[in-house]
Amino acid sequence: MNRRELIQGMGVVSLVGGIPFSTNSLQVKNSQGTAANASLRSPSPLKPPAHGSIPVAFVISEGAVVIDFSGPWEVFQDVYIPGREESAFRLYTVSESTDVVRASDGLKTTPDYTFKSAPLPKVIVIPAQNGVTEEMLEWIRHSSKTADLTMSVCTGAIVLARTGLLAGKTATTHHGAYKTMAVEFPDIRVKRGARFLEEGNLATAGGVSSGIDLALRVVERYFGRDTAVKTADQMEYQGQGWLNPDANEVYPKAPISTEEHPLCPVCDMDADKRVAKSVYQGKTYYFCMPEHKALFDKTPEKYLKTE
């Protein structure tokens, strides 16, 4: 699944600097190179169990984007708590069946559990994917009631939105899906330029690699900043987006489409004049794929007025 297929199926920020081990002076830099105070938004803590591991369920189906679930998986598996005999997190995949799932670009993985057999998680991770069913949505609704956190990555936010759990809340997603999510779910406040957003026991990450940062944030909420920093260091992960929820600030405004460089009015990605076009109120619009022309033609006014 490429990036356009990902957006279709659901309906580059630079990383700067190393992560120092001094947690008193951590700073991040924005895209203009100026320092931002990383401690302005201290996360609300989550309480780990006194004994045992924190169960984390990764909800997957056909087309699940690999980095969306493997990035957070790597974060959680690398957490080390001195003196703790068990792993900090117990990770497993859950799907409609235990048949092999073909993830993005054909990667094959076998789910550990079905929705009927899976143990209740304390953290739920929802990546972008294509095989969304009502059984999946109902499992997420039910499991979220007792989970500490339900988090989406990329257009996994649209999966989470379909459960109804995000109604009336603020959320983010991949920058190419802002409009689609806003049009499809007008009761959700879609925020541009957020690396991740947290609201109660729900959290949404931006596109693709943003899930790594949200997972590090979850580690921080359970075990503190020192542990999160050491986890990132173990991974040799130099990104600092997990310290700044607004780190996706290169995406706050919709790009401008021009005649020389037309953009798809649905996803703001590069349009191809050879693919498809529509004329609305005397103006011609071009698209990146025929499916987006079909979406636009249904409600052009909504896409044109949505930023």
* Residue 249 is assigned to a structural domain of this protein: no
Note the pLDDT of residue 41.
Answer: 59
40 pLDDT band, cuts 50/70/90, is: very low
Same domain for 282 and 198, yes or no, is no
Q: Mean pLDDT over residues 175-200, rounded?
A: 96
Same domain for 142 and 282, yes or no, is no
Same domain for 152 and 230, yes or no, is yes
Residues with Cβ within 8 Å of 41's Cβ and at least 6 positions away in sequence, in order, are 245
Between residues 85 and 54, which one has the greater pLDDT?
54
Same domain for 100 and 61, yes or no, is yes
* Residue 117 is assigned to a structural domain of this protein: yes
* Residue 176 is assigned to a structural domain of this protein: yes
The per-residue pLDDT of the chain, averaged, comes to 89
pLDDT digits (tens, 9 = 90+) for 64-78: 999 999 999 999 999
Same domain for 192 and 260, yes or no, is no
Domain boundary, last residue among 203, 220, 243: 243
Rounded to whole angstroms, the Cα distance separating 57 from 116 reads 13
Convert the chain into a string of H (helix), E (strand) and C (coil): CCHHHHHHHCCCCCCCCCCCCCCCCCEEECCCCCEEECCCCCCCCCCCCCCCCEEEEEECCCCCCHHHHHHHHHHHHCCCCCCCCCCCEEEEEEECCCCCEECHHHCEECCCEECCCCCCCCEEEECCCCCCCHHHHHHHHHHHCCCCEEEECCCHHHHHHHCCCCCCCEECCCHHHHHHHHHHCCCCEECCCCCEEEECCEEEECCCCHHHHHHHHHHHHHHCHHHHHHHHHHCCCCCCHHHCCCCCCCCCCCCCCCCCCCECCCCCCECCCCCCEEEECCEEEECCCHHHHHHHHHCHHHHHHCC
* Residue 32 is assigned to a structural domain of this protein: no
Same domain for 137 and 271, yes or no, is no
Note the pLDDT of residue 120.
Answer: 97
* Residue 27 is assigned to a structural domain of this protein: no
Note the pLDDT of residue 111.
Answer: 98
Rounded to whole angstroms, the Cα distance separating 97 from 120 reads 17
pLDDT at 19 over 60: no
Same domain for 224 and 154, yes or no, is yes
Same domain for 261 and 228, yes or no, is no
pLDDT digits (tens, 9 = 90+) for 113-163: 999 999 999 999 999 999 999 999 999 999 999 999 999 999 999 999 999
Note the pLDDT of residue 249.
Answer: 87
Q: How many domains does the chain have?
A: 2
Same domain for 227 and 266, yes or no, is no
Range of the domain at 155: 3-11+45-243
Same domain for 103 and 134, yes or no, is yes
Same domain for 217 and 148, yes or no, is yes
